Homo-oligomer: A and B are copies of this chain.
């Protein structure tokens, strides 16, 4: 590509989060950047879209970088849709989402607003990457992460991505010298053991906070969980054909049409 790539940047922690600021800084070194991101945090939104409410978009300037920026009142998936359909003059060459404050490895990809934005871009035929750092703190240190964000992004731009595939990148919360490199992985089998915190309102009505603990059930050494535990950046290619193709033969043995 002789022209600079057009890069759409979004996230789910909201347009002012330090994670997206770090991502914009890296992308400004690589291409022409347009940011369209939620005006408030959207963590845990999964692939939600806004169909029963209105969407507002505002152009704004959060820092003094050269990117153009817009905040949107919707979800991460909404941000990608409205960016492509209303804001950008042409289809972007790349969409990056993040850097999320917290892990989106293993089954967390399902609940992740960060990854839903990348998947939405993938559905629209745009190469896309979601980046997450394994540190939930607002003031997390993104310095080491930025090195890997840049390296992976440049690889995607030069190699291209298969149609229908986006990358889920998770970065361990380590200093640059302690990160062992990048590993291509599969999604670990794991889930959350819920632990609802039951409380009572001042008026005596029960309510709950959803909490829990992630459990990795997968002993494989080719998973994202294994890589992250061993100091590697994990890269999982994910797709949005959810068909369990290996089950079709067996289901066709059932007596469904008697």
Contacts and interface: CB of A to CB of B under 8 A. Distances in A.
Contacts of A186: 241, 243, 245, 248
A252 interface: yes
Contact of A208 (B45, B54, B116): B54
Identical chains bound together, number: 2
Nearest to A245: B186
A104 to B, nearest CB: 11
Contacts of A152: 256
Contacts of A165: 244, 247
Contacts of A189: 164, 241
Interface of A: 41, 43-52, 54-57, 74, 77-78, 81-82, 84-86, 107, 109-111, 116, 119, 123-124, 151-152, 155, 159, 162, 164-165, 168, 181-182, 184, 186-187, 189, 191, 194-196, 198-199, 205-210, 235-245, 247-248, 250-252, 254-257
A182 B86 CA distance: 40
Contact of A256 (B84, B86, B155): B155
A196 B85 contact: yes
Contact of A44 (B52, B86, B124, B205): B52
